Structure formats: structure tokens, C-alpha cells
Amino acid sequence: MASPPRALSVSFFVLPLLALLINPATSIRTSIIKLPRRDGSRSAAADTYCESWRLAVETNNAGTWDVLPSSCVDSVARYLNGDQYGSDYDVIVDYALAFAKTVKISGDGKDVWIFDIDETLLTNIGYYKNHGYGVSRSEPFDSKSFNEWVVQGTAPAFAASLRMYNALKKLGFTIVLLTGRDEDQRNVTEINLRDVGYSGWERLILRGPDDQGKSATNYKSEQRSKLIDQGFKIHGNTGDQWSDLLGFAVADRSFKVPNPMYYIP
């Protein structure tokens, strides 16, 4: 086939270019993605930024973070009090139970599923609602006031986690609770858990004197390692912090439930 005349070829290039210059509205969309600002300051797309920030936190792409961006407090409050939070939790539980049903239970009581407690089995939204919905510069974490909340023993259960907990027991899993709470909170923690419907766990592991000062990742990894040394097989682990799940002696599958309020290393 013969090549088109040179003048005609040039016109095919020049005419569209002139159209773009005359009418910018027809310009080609840029392929560059504008990333959110690191300081999280408010912009016209503040809500969009905050949703993106929350995704980065939940996927651990944000890494270590100290405080909730001040511009996202309202967004996080809406999320925690709206339908999306519960829906996200329900979806994660469905995936966890789908995996659990594939595990062949030996029947020797050694097939373990681990749960964290705060923001996993029990929700402390009642506390954080009165304290800025998380750890922010305007509302830093106050361990004294939080411990006062804990000893009241009134934290409700997550409906999704209670559903998951009971389903795992029916499947034959041995339940181990591994929390960052201190040993002197054992009694109130057990009462709170039973009051809201949890029962039948094999062990409740809390921080003892030798665990003080350890990062959550190291403390929980050490406790999981002890379980493995005792012959337990850790098939599943559920927590709201990456430090509940990562480290060493990890579960076959780990399931991170949402928590955009604070980060514990």
C-alpha cells in the first residue's frame, strides 16, 4: 500500500494539536497521580485524603504513625459511628471463618486461634468518643484515664467478633486471648468479657512484670512462641494492630480488623 502524501501526514498531527491549544478543555488527562500531603492538612478534598490515609494505615503502608491527623478527626468519627466500620469488620470475619473452615481440627485441643482484646473483642469507642476519637496532638493518649475506663468493665463486644468467636469454638478451635493489658487487670477483664457474651477460652495472657517495657510486637511474639513450644498449632490470629500479628511465631493466617484511632508498635 502506498504511503500517504507528506503534507497530509503532517496535517493529521498539526490539526489535533491546534485544537488542543485553542480549546484546553479537550486536553489529554494527565497520568500523574497527586499523592496526599504528608502533613494531612485540610484541602478541598479533605474527606478523600482521610479515606486514603485510613487505607494506608489499615494496609500498614503508613508504617509507624504517632497521631491521628487533626484534619481527619471528623472523618474518623463518622466512620466509627457509621455503617462502614461494622461492614468492614463483618467482611473480615467472613474471610476469617472461610479460612477456619478449611483447617483440619486434630481434636487434641492444640489447634489454636488467638484474639487480641481491645478494639478486637471489646470496643472502647465509648472512651475514645470523649477523647478525640483517637490519639491526636490535641488529645494525646492518657494511660491513667484509659485504665480508669478499663476497670469499669463496661466495654461492649463487637457483634462481628462475637459471631466469629462463637463460630470458631463450634468448629473446635482452642481460643487463646493475648492482650497488652496488665496482669492486675485480669479479674475485671474476665468479668467484662463474660458479661458481653465471651466464654470458654483456654488461656488469657496478660503482661506480667517481666513483660513491662517490651514492644507489643516482641511481647506478643514471645507469648506465641511459648505456645508453639508447648505443642500448640496457631492457625489463626485476629487483632486491630499490626503488632498483634507480625513479628515471629506468627499464625498460619492473620486477620487485621480496622482501627484508625491509634498505632501500637
% of the chain residues with pLDDT over 70: 83
What average pLDDT does the structure give for the chain?
87
Distances (CA, A) of 135 to 102, 127, 146, 225, 229: 38, 12, 12, 31, 36
Give CA–CA dist 73/257, Å, rounded.
19
Q: What pLDDT does residue 32 have?
A: 46
CA 97 from chain center: how many Å?
17
Q: What is the pLDDT of residues 137-169, one digit of tens each?
A: 877 888 899 999 999 999 999 999 999 999 999
Residues contacting 14, CB < 8 A, separation 6+ = none
Q: What pLDDT does residue 136 have?
A: 80
Is the pLDDT score of 247 beyond 50? yes
User: Taking the model in full, what pTM does it have?
Assistant: 0.83
Q: What is the pLDDT of residues 64-118, one digit of tens each?
A: 998 899 899 999 999 999 999 999 999 999 999 999 999 999 999 999 999 999 9
Q: What is the pLDDT of residues 27-70, one digit of tens each?
A: 444 444 444 454 544 455 788 999 999 999 999 999 999 889 98
Q: What pLDDT does residue 8 have?
A: 41
CATH number corresponding to 43-256: 3.40.50.1000
Q: What pLDDT does residue 227 have?
A: 98
List phi, psi (to 5°) of 215. Answer: -65, 155
The DSSP H or E segment spanning 51 is: helix 46-58
Is the pLDDT score of 11 beyond 50? no
